[in-house]
Amino acid sequence: MKLQVKNLHKSYGNLQVISNFNIDFSSDGIHCLFGPSGCGKTTLINTLVGLCSYEKGNIIGFKDKRISYIFQEDRLLPWATIEENIKFVLENIEKRKIDEIVDKYLSLVDLIDFKKCYPNELSGGMRQRVSIARAFAYDGDILIMDEPFKGLHFDIKKVLIDYIIDYWYEKKNVVIYITHDIDEVLYMANHIHVLSGIPLKIQKQFTIDIPHNDRDDVNTMNKYRLLLV
């Protein structure tokens, strides 16, 4: 699968946030949009998935695709329990299978004991973990994550990142990940797009060809770290 953005323009009033922007996303690796807060990364993704309008340009490949999106904020339904929030995205599946899916992903994020709770009974970090579980439960064609692990404990973050890597190896779907955390980039990403703004620009692009389970050598990874600072 290949997704393309060609000559994209997006503004808020007189502020040109994205101007003549081009980028490609493929399913042959995990893509990372790396850049400082406020440079336009979230606006770009929201525009690609149809949450924001744009003035001109071409967005190719996103239409009619099932998209799993983990937002920066949790966006849970406050009147629904945790398990109901996940069931909400599961359609045309028999009840027994739905219950299995809910339990699988709540166990992954270590929240199985809280499935009868409501969002206001959980901490911010726990609510974000529910959002992650919900996105994983929805079997989309494209997985998009906007700084999903901000504020999470290192141990649970590593479990979730490892799951995303395994998910990509299994599904070979398009995975797009927004962050400004260098360690997350080096651990997870294959294709890195270093961004700046405003307006949004690509400063450099490079690929880490090293398999994920061979990235323990500090000297080797420092070569890529220097490209991000």
Instruction: Write out the residue limits of the CATH 3.40.50.300 domain(s) in the chain.
Output: 1-66+143-229
pTM of the model: 0.91
pLDDT score at 133: 94
pLDDT score at 53: 95
pLDDT tens-digit profile, the chain (229 residues):
889 999 999 999 999 999 999 999 999 999 999 999 899 999 999 999 999 999 999 999 998 899 999 998 889 999 999 999 999 999 888 988 999 999 999 999 999 999 999 999 999 989 999 999 999 999 889 999 999 988 788 888 888 899 999 989 988 899 999 998 999 999 999 999 999 989 999 999 999 999 998 998 888 899 999 999 8
pLDDT score at 150: 82
Identity (one letter) of the amino acid at 21? F
Dist. CA 15–CA 17, nearest whole Å: 6
Residues 120-166 have pLDDT tens digits of 999 998 999 999 999 999 988 999 999 998 878 888 888 889 999 99
pLDDT score at 122: 96
pLDDT score at 154: 83
- Residue 134, classified by CB atoms within 10 Å of its CB into exposed (0-12), middle (13-18) or buried (19+), is buried
pLDDT score at 156: 85
Indicate the CATH number of 1-66+143-229 among 3.40.50.1860, 3.40.50.300, 1.10.357.10, 2.170.8.10.
3.40.50.300
C-alpha dist (Å) from residue 13 to 10, 16, 223: 10, 8, 41
pLDDT score at 202: 97
pLDDT score at 174: 94
Residues 43-59 have pLDDT tens digits of 999 999 999 999 999 99
Buried/exposed 81-102: b ≥16 CB within 10 Å, e otherwise: bbbebbbeebeeeeeeebeebb
pLDDT score at 153: 84
